[in-house]
Structure 1
Amino acid sequence: MTILNKVIEHKMIGILRGYGTEDTIKIVDTLNRNDFKVIEVALNSPNAKATLKTLKETFGEELVLGAGTVLTLEDAQVCLDIGTDFLLSPVYNEEILKFSVEHNILYIPGCYTPTEIYNAHTSGAKLIKVFPAGQLKSIYIKDVLAPMNDLSLLPTGGVTADNINAFLDAGAKAVGVNSALVPSKREVDKSLMEEITKNVQKFKEALDKNED
């Protein structure tokens, strides 16, 4: 199964931002034990590249591990060398897309307008992050896909357990989830781990309900 197919099957990318290596390991361990397997670490987190390397060494093939906020070719190369499974960005960078195609790694560019989305698609992007989706709502996904239903979209920003199914029902292939899954800038203690566990359960229950 390809990385793209694994992301689509999982339906969610969990986005971690702002935590250092030690805390991220603890958070990812909690996610992994709760069967949340597709995770992105944003590069604007403390020691993010070292964190990605440690996660890869610790969890190996248990996780689909991505690097987020990839904005330069240099960052893309480092993340490729680390062995990350996909690259994700808040913007569309044509150079990084070409790099990803040449090196057979999934690149998920961030786009906002229909023109940006279409240009990324025709340039070879297999999955496109629609960001920030919280302002656009699920109706935007439905409207974009109405004339261009061959697009694969990943709405990100503002996705919660309460609205995830609205985005998926509108035609999104998967979603990016951040603070509704892992709250930012919190002390990484037992209380946070329990909250993350409950958040995973909320998302999974919502998805299960939608499949009934």
Structure 2
Amino acid sequence: MQKYEVLDEMHKGYIVAVIRGKNKEEAVEISKQAFEGGIRSIEVTFSTPEAEEAIAELSRLGNTRMILGAGTVLDAETARIAIMKGARYIVSPHFDGAIATMCNRYATPYLPGCGSVTEIMNALSSGVDVVKLFPGSLFGPSFIKDVRGPIPHVQLMPSGGVSLDNLEQWKKSGAFAIGIGSALTKDIANGDYSSVQTVSRSFRNKLAELTEE
């Protein structure tokens, strides 16, 4: 049940903070600020130097409410390293069968980036439960409805191009969750990361408004 408990918590929280830091320290600080702003799902990308150590440090905090994952995972070896360091889910910009096998071995959710129905079906056939729609900005919310016509059971999480302005559209389209990256860090200046918390709270407040409607 571990795999599905993580996915259920990600769905409930709905927003995934995609963390890309210049170094380990920055990744950890941005992650903490996003979490303080109300985003529970934290995806530390391996485009960050020493990403595995950032994951380990965040894992050592012992906060059971944080759903810690690894992103930009390009191969099965990196997936295993991330899992051993404390990642509870794995995200990649593409679909890789070897990563899917590794994640299944450790009962860890794998969310591969897919951009076509063929890629989505290949991912589902390998035991993937949630597919990352990437880049989300290329397709738009209507793509989810179009895909769910022939494949009504598919769960899609857009990442890339998600903003406060289109959050409502993505949610109404039936997105499983949404990933936000550059929108989180656009106001960082001179080593002050407090803006990340402010932006995170704005997304959480917007989501709360939509949920109440």
TM-score category of the 2 structures, normalised to the smaller one: over 0.9
Bigger mean CA deviation after superposition, 87-96 or 27-36 = 27-36
Match of 1:31 among 24, 34, 49: 34
Q: What is the CA-CA distance between 1:180 and the residue it aligns to?
A: 1.1
Q: What is the CA-CA distance between 1:12 and the residue it aligns to?
A: 1.1
Q: What is the CA-CA distance between 1:22 and the residue it aligns to?
A: 1.8
How far apart in 1 are the matches of 2:56 and 2:81? Answer: 10
Contact 1:19–1:185 at 8 Å: present in 2 too?
Answer: no
Pairing 1:115–2:98 present: no
Tell me which residue corresponds to 1:129.
Answer: 132
Contact 2:37–2:198 at 8 Å: present in 1 too?
Answer: no
What is the identity, as a one-letter code, of the residue corresponding to 2:200? V
Tell me which residue corresponds to 1:143.
Answer: 146
Contact 2:36–2:197 at 8 Å: present in 1 too?
Answer: no
Contact 2:27–2:48 at 8 Å: present in 1 too?
Answer: no
Aligned positions, number = 209
Q: What is the CA-CA distance between 1:113 and the residue it aligns to?
A: 0.3
Tell me which residue corresponds to 1:205.
Answer: 205
Tell me which residue corresponds to 1:183.
Answer: 186
Q: What is the CA-CA distance between 1:188 and the residue it aligns to?
A: 2.6
Contact 2:68–2:88 at 8 Å: present in 1 too?
Answer: yes
Match of 2:61 among 58, 69, 88: 58
What is the identity, as a one-letter code, of the residue corresponding to 2:167? I
Distance 1:145 1:122, change over 3 A: same
Distance 1:131 1:184, change over 3 A: farther
How far apart in 1 are the matches of 2:186 and 2:52? Answer: 21
How far apart in 1 are the matches of 2:71 and 2:122? Answer: 21
Match of 1:79 among 82, 86, 92: 82
How far apart in 2 are the matches of 1:176 and 1:50? Answer: 22
What is the identity, as a one-letter code, of the residue corresponding to 1:206? K
Q: What is the CA-CA distance between 1:23 and the residue it aligns to?
A: 2.0
Q: Deviations over 1:82-118 (max 9, x none)?
A: 1211110000001110111121011111100011112
Match of 1:174 among 174, 177, 200: 177
SS of corresponding position for 2:184 = coil
Q: Deviations over 1:116-172 (max 9, x none)?
A: 112211221011001001121111111111221100100110000111121121111
Contact 1:154–1:176 at 8 Å: present in 2 too?
Answer: yes
Task: Give the root-mean-square deviation of aligned CA atoms.
Answer: 1.7
Q: What is the CA-CA distance between 1:29 and the residue it aligns to?
A: 2.1
Q: How many percent identity over aligned positions?
A: 29
How far apart in 2 are the matches of 1:150 and 1:186? Answer: 43
Match of 1:3 among 3, 6, 9: 6
Q: Which runs of 4+ in 1 moved over 4 A?
A: none
TM-score normalised according to structure 1 size: 0.92
Distance 1:160 1:201, change over 3 A: same
How far apart in 1 are the matches of 2:60 and 2:201? Answer: 27
Tell me which residue corresponds to 1:159.
Answer: 162
